[in-house]
């Protein structure tokens, strides 16, 4: 028999840790104790099968692999007899097998994407953006450890990743085993080419009902829309959701809201917005029909990431025309120099809920962290087992553990604030996120001009002047219910000193403009202007004045 190809060839690489991981520490200790008391074990080997009879008559059979075993005791998991049999074989045959050189070339030649699901493969790729800091120990056993996550994977020489032992106790190939192979390949200098994900293709017949309704609406005109039209659009939004077409769902719901506002003669209805939504819907349908658009899945996958230390830089309340109300919290991750967000939201279109952003902001913080939204928005937060999606949005997963470790002092982050509008424009071009709701930047204005009201657009506009004298316009909508926020922003902007803000930039008429999200005082305080956090700016920072 050629024992190099037999499962016993890897016995020298199996140690106490491996045995304990195969079963558990209790089973391993019991096996060691019982083997010492009854060391007589009969070992019978052939080309592919090893049979070991223990002193009490129990027979353990291995078929070419230590992970493929059977025991006459009938246990469904790794019992003490299996461990005893391997311990005996290791001791008996150690002299014959110890000269075999470990070979992990199988791992280097493996296509990791072929051994895991598409979602797990996506998670592995996403996690490479973070500092995983794996530790490699290559000897009789290859050990790949991820200390920050308390995860260790142990590979036997010339064996499949499925035979590896992981601290998560998975028998099959788990994400940890696959990721350990991936980082080991990178450690050895291997490059990985990533194939683009194919677009989500929707059969044209599934889009026919959507197009028919839009074409009928264009033919009838806005004045002939009825309550049944609103209801029909809401049903189409549900249908789009079932097809996992997130953008289409939101556009139908927004269109239904616009028509409802028009029928009620509501002041916030804008015909230009209605026409834009209608056009966007039809264009989206044409692109989907011609397979020229890669529509994102309805819900992004969330991936577990290494422990995070986040600095809260404020929050904003919002309500969409598509029928959602919510609060978004903004955190800065220093290691990656990225903004990470967490949003709470509630739909208003099914239950007629009267929830407001302020009500959500008063809720208990997620992840078991002590405090409410007010504290969360201005705190240093540590998260363990956190989950992020590709847009760097946090999940409220109950498995995530959060701990608040003090307050964010904005004054300690001067380098984060852009004080040149040319630098701001360059940053936006680099990120290519002007059109994204996630495009946020910290800016610092050296001076401000005079407020003026754009009567046609009903917007308050304030020139912000940077250190080199260049001007950027800050805009605020003038609408019912917005007066308190506008008053607070004006009060802050009219006070002396530099002005620090978290802003969302966007293009308007070919020019870059910004809307304020959060204000920061010279003393490092955070002012969430859209959430009516009690008191005026003077009340909250009286020492400054």
pLDDT for res 7: 61
Q: Does residue 78 form part of some domain?
A: yes
pLDDT-derived band at 140 (thresholds 50, 70, 90) equals confident
pLDDT-derived band at 466 (thresholds 50, 70, 90) equals very high
Residues 340 and 312 in one domain: yes
Percent of the chain having pLDDT more than 90?
Answer: 42
Query: Closest Cα partner for 80 from 45, 142, 37?
Result: 37
CATH of the domain at 442: 2.40.50.140
Q: Does residue 344 form part of some domain?
A: yes
Give mean pLDDT, residues 210-214: 86
Residues 125 and 71 in one domain: no
Q: Does residue 297 form part of some domain?
A: no
Give mean pLDDT, residues 528-540: 63
Q: Of 408, 443, 464, which residue constitutes the final position of a domain? A: 408
Q: Of 228, 262, 289, which residue constitutes the final position of a domain? A: 289
pLDDT for res 300: 65
Q: Does residue 192 form part of some domain?
A: no
Query: How many structural domains compose the chain?
Result: 5
pLDDT for res 8: 62
Query: Closest Cα partner for 472 from 508, 429, 522?
Result: 508
Residues 285 and 318 in one domain: no
Please give the helix or strand (H or E) that residue 116 lies within, else none. none
Residues 28 and 92 in one domain: yes
pTM: 0.75
Residues 419 and 540 in one domain: yes
Q: Does residue 329 form part of some domain?
A: yes
Give mean pLDDT, residues 501-519: 89
Residues 155 and 114 in one domain: yes
Residues 420 and 514 in one domain: yes
490/24: higher pLDDT = 490
Least confident of 166-170, 196-200, 259-263: 196-200
493/65: higher pLDDT = 493
Give mean pLDDT, residues 164-175: 87
Residues 396 and 426 in one domain: no
**153, pLDDT greater than 90:** yes
Q: Answer yes or no: are the C-beta atoms of 156 and 14 closer than 8 Å.
A: yes
Q: Of 97, 118, 142, which residue constitutes the final position of a domain? A: 97
Q: What's the CA gap between 389 and 380, in Å, rounded? A: 21
For residue 481, what is the DSSP state? Answer: T
Residues 337 and 445 in one domain: no
Joined together, the tokens standing for residue 211 give: 């197009």
Q: Does residue 434 form part of some domain?
A: yes
pLDDT for res 291: 67
Residues 93 and 52 in one domain: yes
Residues 119 and 148 in one domain: yes
pLDDT for res 522: 85
Domain that residue 255 falls in: 204-289
pLDDT for res 169: 81
Q: Does residue 197 form part of some domain?
A: no
Query: Closest Cα partner for 412 from 340, 334, 476, 301?
Result: 334
pLDDT for res 297: 43
Give mean pLDDT, residues 445-472: 92
3-state secondary structure of 526: strand
**532, pLDDT greater than 90:** no
Least confident of 169-178, 238-247, 274-283: 238-247
Phi and psi dihedrals of 99, rounded to 5? -85, -5
Residues 175 and 122 in one domain: yes
The angle, 0 to 180 degrees and rounded to 10, between the axes of the packed helices 246-263 and 227-242 is 170
Q: What order of strands is seen across the sheet that includes strand 49-53? A: 42-45, 49-53, 59-63, 69-71
Q: What's the CA gap between 14 and 248, in Å, rounded? A: 55
pLDDT tens digits along 357-370: 999 999 999 999 98
The residues facing 500 across adjacent strands are 444, 520
Average pLDDT, the chain: 84
**86, pLDDT greater than 80:** yes
pLDDT for res 226: 84
Residue 103 Cα distances to 18, 43, 93, 180, 429, angstroms: 18, 26, 19, 16, 48
Q: Does residue 480 form part of some domain?
A: yes
165/402: higher pLDDT = 402
Give mean pLDDT, residues 156-170: 81
């Amino acid at each position: 028999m050629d024992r190099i190809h037999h499962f016993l060839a890897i016995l020298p690489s199996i140690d106490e840790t491996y045995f304990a991981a195969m079963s558990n520490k209790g089973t391993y200790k019991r096996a060691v104790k019982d083997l010492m008391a009854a060391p007589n074990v009969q070992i019978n080997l052939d080309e592919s099968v090893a049979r070991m009879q223990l002193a009490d008559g129990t027979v353990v059979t291995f078929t070419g692999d230590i992970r493929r075993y059977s025991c006459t005791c009938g246990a469904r998991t790794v019992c003490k007899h299996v461990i005893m049999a391997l311990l005996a074989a290791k001791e008996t045959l150690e002299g014959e097998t110890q000269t075999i050189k470990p070979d992990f070339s199988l791992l280097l030649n493996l296509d990791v994407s072929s051994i895991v699901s598409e979602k797990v493969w996506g998670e592995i790729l996403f996690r490479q953006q973070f500092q995983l800091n794996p530790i490699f120990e290559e000897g009789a056993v290859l050990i790949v450890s991820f200390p920050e996550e308390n995860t260790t994977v142990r590979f036997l020489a010339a064996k499949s990743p499925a035979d590896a032992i992981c601290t998560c106790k998975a028998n099959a190939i788990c994400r940890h085993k696959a990721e350990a192979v991936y980082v080991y390949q990178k450690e050895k200098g291997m490059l990985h080419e990533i194939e683009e994900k194919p677009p989500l293709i929707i059969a044209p017949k599934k889009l026919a009902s959507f197009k028919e309704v839009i074409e009928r609406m264009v033919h009838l005109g806005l004045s002939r829309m009825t309550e049944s039209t609103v209801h029909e659009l809401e049903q189409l939004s549900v249908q789009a959701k079932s097809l996992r077409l997130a953008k289409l769902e939101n556009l139908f719901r927004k269109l239904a809201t616009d028509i409802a506002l028009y029928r009620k003669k509501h002041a916030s209805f804008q015909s230009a917005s209605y026409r834009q939504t209608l056009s966007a819907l039809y264009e989206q349908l044409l692109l989907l029909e011609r397979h020229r658009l890669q529509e994102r899945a309805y819900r992004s996958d969330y991936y577990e990431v290494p422990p995070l230390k986040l600095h809260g830089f404020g929050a904003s309340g919002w309500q969409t025309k598509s029928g959602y109300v919510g609060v978004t919290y903004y955190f800065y991750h220093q290691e990656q120099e990225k903004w990470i967000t967490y949003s709470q939201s509630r739909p208003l279109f099914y239950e007629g809920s009267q929830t407001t952003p302020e009500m959500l902001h008063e809720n208990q913080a997620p992840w078991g962290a002590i405090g409410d939204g007010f504290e969360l928005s201005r705190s240093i937060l540590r998260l363990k087992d956190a989950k992020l999606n590709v847009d760097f949005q946090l999940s409220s997963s109950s498995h995530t553990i959060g701990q608040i470790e003090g307050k964010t002092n904005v004054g300690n982050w001067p380098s984060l604030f852009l004080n040149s509008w040319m630098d701001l424009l360059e940053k936006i071009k680099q990120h290519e996120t002007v059109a994204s709701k996630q495009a946020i930047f910290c800016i610092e204005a050296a001076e401000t001009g005079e407020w003026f009201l754009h009567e046609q657009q009903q917007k308050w506009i304030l020139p912000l002047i940077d250190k080199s004298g260049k001007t950027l316009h800050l805009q605020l909508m003038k609408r019912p219910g917005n007066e308190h926020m506008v008053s607070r922003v004006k009060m802050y902007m009219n006070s002396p000193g530099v002005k620090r803000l978290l802003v969302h930039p966007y293009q308007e008429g070919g020019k870059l403009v910004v809307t304020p999200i959060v204000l920061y005082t010279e003393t490092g305080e955070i002012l969430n202007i859209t959430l009516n956090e009690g008191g005026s700016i003077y009340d909250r920072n009286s020492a400054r004045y």
